Amino acid sequence: MSGQPGFDGLEVRALACAAGYRTLFAGLDLRVPRARWMMLVGPNGSGKSTLLRAVAGLARPVAGEILWRGAVRRADSPEWRADCLYQGHASGWKDGLEARENLVLQAALDGLDQDSARIDAQLARVGLERQAQLPFVRLSAGQRRRLSLARLALSNRPLWLLDEPGTALDVAGLQTLAALLDEHLEGGGLALVATHQPLPCAQPPLVLDLGEARS
């Protein structure tokens, strides 16, 4: 089944997801065009993380379909992997590597050029220039989240799927996150963001309350 002709974005149609025997939501529809972002809200356990993982291809829906740029998304396709950046609760960083080494490794895994000057510039942008040589295990919770912001700053993927990206960030960190998201949208990207806190973005989000989407 194809998407709406000419629609260049993310679509979810009649999606249902469950946790064990419990249905989290069913019959869920959403559409996010390019240059827009959608904020996922709802109480704990309403399925925000599950929805992000289902869109990313990391969890299997019970029913429904996910479309990207007007075609049914194939989670195993190289094109999808090249277009989608998923950032969940588990960072995936290596405790024994320095902050900078982790970012260089992640850039390689993301298929990006590991340009030294660009890596250093993004570490500085997110406020980690002094911690760049510290082992990841010695970073605070907020500094670890800032390293994830540096990954976003390096990314050139059009679709961001972010699960609570503002957790542990101070006011300055939240402003950096909002600026990165604004730049992403201005460049024609789009994002699906699960968050319990408002983000000071220039562009207001589309909002989906999963607490109201339960079957």
Average pLDDT over residues 193-214: 91
Average pLDDT over residues 115-140: 96
Q: What is the pLDDT of residue 1?
A: 40
Q: Are 45 and 101 in contact (CB under 8 A)?
A: no
Which residues, 6 or more positions from 4, have their beta carbon under 8 angstroms from its beta carbon?
A: 11, 70
Q: What is the pLDDT of residue 114?
A: 80
Q: What is the pLDDT of residue 131?
A: 97
What whole-number distance in Å separates Cα of residue 107 and Cα of residue 24?
Answer: 34
Structure-model confidence comparison of residues 153 and 214, the more confident one: 153
CA atoms within 13 A on the CB side of 157: 24
Q: Are 207 and 56 in contact (CB under 8 A)?
A: no
Q: What are the beta bridge partners of residue 44? A: none
Q: What is the pLDDT of residue 5?
A: 56
Compute the mean pLDDT over every residue in the chain, rounded to the nearest whole number: 93
pTM for this predicted structure = 0.94
Q: What is the pLDDT of residue 214?
A: 63
Q: What is the pLDDT of residue 211?
A: 85
Which residues, 6 or more positions from 117, have their beta carbon under 8 angstroms from its beta carbon?
A: none
Q: What is the pLDDT of residue 6?
A: 58
What whole-number distance in Å separates Cα of residue 205 and Cα of residue 116?
Answer: 34
For 150-180, how does the pLDDT look when each residue is reduced to its tens digit (9 = 90+)? Answer: 999 999 999 999 999 999 999 999 999 999 9
Q: What is the pLDDT of residue 2?
A: 45
